[in-house]
């Protein structure tokens, strides 16, 4: 049930204060959801879901690798192709539905207020932020393909999966982080390119090295951008005394997370494309998955 409130300017909002009728983008009926109910559920239950799922994920990696050590690798070419195409299309659609809000807010109020204030949050963006959050559990399936195909699993892969999933669940529920307006669309856009690359590799197409190098470079730029957003928020709270819609816990967690990603992605980039790196273009060794 969605409560609708109208104000004098004709703006319609729901029980969570989300705008239902932004002038720049109209919602589909399924996007008008019970946001207040979901926010409350996430705040109370997110650890009950995210933490056990993360533990189970890591456990299944070890058990799966042990199981596959005595067996031949599966090919899984067709399932992998369908998986990658589905995630590429889904990621791009999420980007299209989420990006309108931060673009509009940046034009009207500037970048700083966009990442520091929850004002003018729309039900469209909120719905797809929820789907984005839940999709981080779905993306654990990437690791299943790696294990079943007996490919090399580097530390960056499970570390990135687990920490992103925990962070998105935490920030969607208890803290409703406005910086997610920027983090979500940028991540979804890069994922659409990344999974399209994986799909082409599933078809055994010869992809030029500059493509994989460009995707990895985009991921590194995403980490640098994430650090910049959080440093800007840090100074906003510590020096300027505002940016109050971003809790210290969010900023600290995100700074640590993005720093670790930047170090690991740079290490991977140097190993893959440096003078002593491999010859072929790749995003991760043996078509491994970054996230």
- Token couple for 37: 């109910």
Rounded Cα–Cα distance for residues 253 and 174 (Å): 14
* Rg of the chain taking only CA atoms, in angstroms: 20
- 3-state SS of 60-87 is HHHHHHHHHCCCCCCCCHHHHHHHHHHH
Nearest partner of 178 among 237, 238, 112, 240, judged by Cα = 112
Catalytic residue among 157, 160, 161, 245, which? Answer: 160
- Helix H or strand E segment including 5: strand 5-6
- Token couple for 227: 């650090």
160 is catalytic: yes
Q: Within the chain, what is the greatest distance between any pair of CA atoms? A: 69
Q: DSSP string covering 242-279, please?
A: --TTS-HHHHHHHHHHHHHHHHHHHHHHHHHHSTTS-S
Give the residue numbers marked as catalytic: 160
């Amino acid at each position: 049930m969605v409560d609708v409130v109208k104000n004098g300017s004709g703006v319609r909002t729901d029980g969570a204060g989300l705008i239902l009728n932004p002038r720049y983008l109209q919602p589909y009926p399924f996007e008008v959801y019970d946001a207040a109910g979901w926010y409350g559920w996430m705040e109370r239950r997110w650890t009950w879901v995210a933490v056990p799922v993360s533990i189970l994920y890591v456990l299944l990696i070890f058990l799966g690798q042990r199981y596959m050590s005595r067996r031949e690798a599966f090919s899984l070419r067709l399932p992998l192709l369908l998986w990658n195409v589905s995630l590429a299309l889904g990621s791009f659609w999420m980007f299209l539905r989420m990006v309108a809000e931060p673009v509009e807010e940046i034009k009207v109020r500037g970048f700083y207020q966009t990442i520091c204030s929850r004002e003018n949050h729309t039900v469209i963006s909120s719905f797809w932020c929820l789907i984005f959050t839940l999709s981080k559990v779905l993306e654990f399936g990437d690791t299943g393909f790696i294990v079943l195909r007996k490919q090399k699993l580097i530390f960056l892969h499970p570390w990135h999966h687990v920490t992103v999933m925990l962070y998105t669940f935490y920030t969607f529920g208890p803290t409703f982080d406005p910086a997610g307006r920027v983090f979500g669309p940028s991540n979804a856009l890069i994922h659409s390119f990344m999974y399209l690359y994986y799909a082409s590799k599933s078809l055994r197409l010869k992809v030029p090295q500059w493509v994989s190098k460009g995707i990895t470079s985009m991921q590194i730029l995403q980490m640098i951008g994430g650090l910049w957003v959080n440093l800007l928020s840090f100074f906003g709270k510590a020096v300027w005394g505002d940016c109050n819609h971003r809790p210290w816990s969010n900023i600290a967690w995100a700074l640590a997370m993005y720093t670790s990603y930047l170090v690991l992605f740079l290490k991977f980039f140097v190993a893959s494309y440096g003078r002593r790196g491999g010859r072929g273009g790749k995003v991760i060794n043996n078509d491994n998955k970054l996230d």
